[in-house]
Structure 1
Amino acid sequence: VDDNALKNLGAVGIIRLGGGNIQVVFGTYSDMIREEIVKLTRKEILQIPFYSPVQGHMVPLKEVPDPVFSAGIVGNGVAFIPDRGEVVSPVVGTVMIVYPSKHAIGIRTKEGLEVLLHVGIDTSRLEGKYFETFVKEGDEVVPGQMLIRFQIDKVKQHSKSLATPMVITNSDKVKSWSFAPFKAVKKGQASVFSVTLKEKENFVSPGGTHV
């Protein structure tokens, strides 16, 4: 701790409390300083919760049987093994893209996070067979809103895996990640994971995402 720097900022006293804790006394200005700190904290720390897009089991992304996802090449996040053929929105946002094969949807949150939901592995080659979508590009969505229905038995039979990644493709905008236990989840279950964003002023979202 630089005592001289604190004094130059207006500190009238510095008390070392032990255990790595100190108290800095700013006198009558302390309430004003506290308010400014709270304002800065609220501006710079943005936490976004994610809801479960399916009913099934949440698993670490590294368990997805596809190196593009498991190695985090597309982005960081989690994956799910669905029990039912329904996918709902995990966030509040705008649909960026609905893939022609209907197996994947991209959503941009109001904070600029770009979220990719990808049903199954090697499902693009099904060319939309067994899938039905309920949104189009430009639609506003909220958590729990239906995005995709699919014939789960058919997709399981004709694809490599039912593993369904949910990743943030512009993960460089995320400051920290918090994951719930990897276990059974319900469709629309709140806060299966959350992220804390970097400073708002540095948050510029590029257009588009890809698989």
Structure 2
Amino acid sequence: MFKKWFGKQQPKEETITAPLDGTIMRLEDVPDPVFAQNMMGDGEIIQLFPTKHAIGLRSEAGVELLIHVGIDTVSMNGEGFTAYVRAGDRVKRGDRLLSVDLPLVREKAKSAVTPIIITNGDALESLEREAEASAKKGETVLFHVNMK
């Protein structure tokens, strides 16, 4: 009870901005059924895949995001990817997380499309998607999220 009165309150609203430059597309249009059929669902790195092709983050408000660079990039076994963070690291908007050799991804993977997925959608009160056609890293708002 006292924790509710005196405990640190988590922020309930979050604005998610683009982590990279590119064209915004609907998830249903991603050329991979795992993403297209919605089989997936300032913060902390909660997971960095050993192959460095995907990274999981949790914002201070509790929004969990998966940034999955390319389609079928897991088969590249980390080739062309450099990670600048580890699980447990605290990061701020604008911090460098990964670098990617895009020409190599385009050559070796099915696609360079990079899905950005909210993986804990059941914890959201609401989600408002912005309707821009292109994204600029750190500037373009992708989503406005309110947590339950």
Q: Letter of the aligned partner of 1:58 in structure 2?
A: I
Q: What's 1:78 paired with? A: none
Structure 1 residue 57, shift from structure 2 partner: 1.1
Structure 1 residue 112, shift from structure 2 partner: 2.2
Instruction: Give per-residue Cα distances to partners, 1:86-130, cap 9 Å, x unaligned.
Output: xxxxxx101011111000110112222221110000000100001
Structure 1 residue 190, shift from structure 2 partner: 4.4
User: Any conservation in 2 of the 1:46–1:197 contact (CA below 8 Å)?
Assistant: yes
Instruction: Please state if 1:151 is matched with 2:117.
Output: no
Pick aligned residue for 2:24 from 58, 68, 74 = 58
Once residues 63 and 136 of structure 2 are traced to their aligned partners in structure 1, the CA distance between those partners, rounded to angstroms, is: 23
Instruction: Please state if 1:71 is matched with 2:71.
Output: no
Q: Letter of the aligned partner of 1:141 in structure 2?
A: V
User: Any conservation in 1 of the 2:45–2:58 contact (CA below 8 Å)?
Assistant: yes
Q: What's 2:65 paired with? A: 115
Once residues 100 and 168 of structure 1 are traced to their aligned partners in structure 2, the CA distance between those partners, rounded to angstroms, is: 21
Q: Letter of the aligned partner of 1:131 in structure 2?
A: F
| Unaligned ranges ≥5, structure 2 | 1-8
Percentage identity across paired residues of the two chains: 37
User: Any conservation in 2 of the 1:59–1:182 contact (CA below 8 Å)?
Assistant: no
Pick aligned residue for 1:188 from 135, 138, 144 = 138
Alpha-carbon RMSD: 1.5
Pairing 1:145-184 to 2, within 5 Å after superposition:
145-184=95-134
Query: TM-score by structure 1 length?
Result: 0.63
User: Any conservation in 1 of the 2:62–2:147 contact (CA below 8 Å)?
Assistant: no
Q: What's 1:125 paired with? A: 75
Q: Letter of the aligned partner of 2:94 in structure 1?
A: G
Once residues 61 and 54 of structure 2 are traced to their aligned partners in structure 1, the CA distance between those partners, rounded to angstroms, is: 21
Once residues 164 and 101 of structure 1 are traced to their aligned partners in structure 2, the CA distance between those partners, rounded to angstroms, is: 15
Q: Letter of the aligned partner of 2:138 in structure 1?
A: G
Instruction: Please state if 1:96 is matched with 2:46.
Output: yes
Give the secondary-structure state (helix, strand or coil) at the position aligned to 2:70.
coil
The higher radius of gyration belongs to 1
Give the secondary-structure state (helix, strand or coil) at the position aligned to 1:156.
helix
Q: Letter of the aligned partner of 2:25 in structure 1?
A: V
Give the secondary-structure state (helix, strand or coil) at the position aligned to 1:160.
coil
